[in-house]
Structure 1
Amino acid sequence: MNLKPLITLLAIVNPLAIVPFFIHYTMGFSRAQRRRTVLISATTAFLVIAVSAVAGLQILDFFGISLASFQVGGGMLLLISALSMLNAQPAEAKATRDEVDDAAGRASIAVVPLTIPLLTGPATMSTVVIYADQAQTFWQHAALVGYGLVVAAATWVCFTLAEPIARVLGKTGINVMTRLMGLILAALAVEVMASGLVRLFPALGAA
């Protein structure tokens, strides 16, 4: 079984790095409200990955986008995310301060921006679509959807244990973990871009 897609997804989503955001957004929530937020976030993360795995290629065909071009663009997006992580910033953190403040005042922030875009954004979707193209059998596609369950489970665990994790690791520990995952993601991003460039320019492969 190829675990590279799972490793890549875990590196991008990296729910551990989103723990401080989760604590901030759910400050003042009751225990029941926090549990509901955790459940919705984990479920939404799974749905984003599952839909991208099942229908992502069809969406590309609809817009007339070649997978090679998508690989290069997606690889660049992954590399940008990796650079953010190397600076100890979450890979998908794209929300502005106004959005953060507005979200904190809503009854539920589980979907936006906590899950989209902080947990699963364009880089996550691009990665799943690229690996979906490489899947040749039903079981390989099913494995991608299954990896979505693993990511959802990791999200559920990290958010459920958010306060103990934050206390044990501290800001420095979370930053170190984020940087390590960023380094792994940077290497994977280069592989994705190289594969797309070889498809676009076959002469590169011959060289």
Structure 2
Amino acid sequence: MNMELREIFSAFTRIDFKEIITASMVLFAVIDIIGSIPIILDLRKKVGHIQSEKASIVAALLMIVFLFLGKEILTLIGIDVNSFAVAGSFIIFFLAIEMILGIQLYKDDEPETAAVVPLAFPLIAGAGTMTTLLSLRAEFFPINIVIAILINIIFVYVVLKSSGIIERFLGKQGINVIRKIFGVILLAIAVKLFAANIKGLFL
């Protein structure tokens, strides 16, 4: 019991607001829930109801589980975190290019229903998000990434609940501007992630 308490206390002493803010911004850009508003609106029109609470909870659980078990899965198949982080930096790089240039290099099929599967996965917790989580794990303490995940999930829930209002307020042009701004931030983070982990491949 004392050991568990010490571990919990140790985790909380590693809370770093700078890491939380950085990780939150990276996940916000990768999840791109603002850019997904047109898809969300289309889903709402097709089925009449978005399962906001369920989708948010499932997405959060998927991300947290993958954050902690993803490394073990990689170890099992013989891939180190540095290699995965470098690979992740390329994915983040291409996501950023998509956002900045407004092109589609690759995209998941548009979901046909508003069930948990298309919303929680792959719309919220997609392949890019999962890769990014393990890339962040190579740089930041897990507690800070978990907090960043929860911050983003709260924001995702708010967007899902009020997507129509947000679209009317920002307009298509406003959504595009936000995507491009975060695309540039994401591009810079991809370069930093690559530079920080490429050295580990040759040690």
Partners of 2:38 and 2:52 in 1: how far apart? 14
Residues of 1 paired with 2:41 and 2:103: CA distance? 16
Answer yes or no: is 1:118 the counterpart of 2:123: yes
Unaligned runs of 5+ in 1: 203-207
TM-score by length of 1: 0.81
Residue ranges of structure 2 left out of the alignment (5+ in a row): 1-15
User: How do 1:62-73 and structure 2 match up within 5 A?
Assistant: 62-73=76-87
Q: Residues of 2 paired with 1:193 and 1:120: CA distance?
A: 22
**Overall identity of the aligned pairs, in %:** 25
Q: Write the distance in 2 (CA, Å) between the matches of 1:196 and 1:122.
A: 20
Q: Does 1:184 align with 2:197?
A: no
1:165 and 2:171 aligned: no
Deviation at 1:90, TM superposition (A): 8.6
Structure 1 pair 152–89 and aligned structure 2 pair: CA distance change class (3 A): farther
Counterpart residue identity of residue 129, structure 1:
L
Instruction: Summarize the Cα distance change of 1:90–1:149 in structure 2 as closer, same or farther, 3 Å threshold.
Output: farther
- Please tell me whether the aligned partners of residues 38 and 160 of structure 1 are also in contact (alpha carbons under 8 angstroms): yes
Q: Does 1:27 align with 2:45?
A: yes
1:51 pairs, out of 61, 65, 68, with 65
Number of the residue aligned with 2:52: 38
The amino acid across from 2:157 in the alignment is: W
Counterpart contact for 2:85–2:138, Cα < 8 Å = no
Deviations 1:10-69 (A, max 9, x none): 111121111111000121444xx33xx111221122122201221111111011102221
Deviation per CA, 1:140-197: give whole Å up to 9, x if none.
Answer: 3233222211111010111111001111111111011011111100000011111221
Give the number of equivalent residue pairs: 185
CA distance in structure 2 between the aligned counterparts of 1:132 and 1:82, rounded to whole angstroms: 20
Aligned to 2:90: 76
- CA RMSD in angstroms comes to 2.1
**CA–CA distance in 2 between the matches of 1:193 and 1:45?**
27
What CA distance in whole angstroms lies between the structure 2 residues aligned with 1:133 and 1:197? 12
**Equivalent of 1:61 in 75, 89, 109:** 75
* TM-score with structure 2 setting the length: 0.82
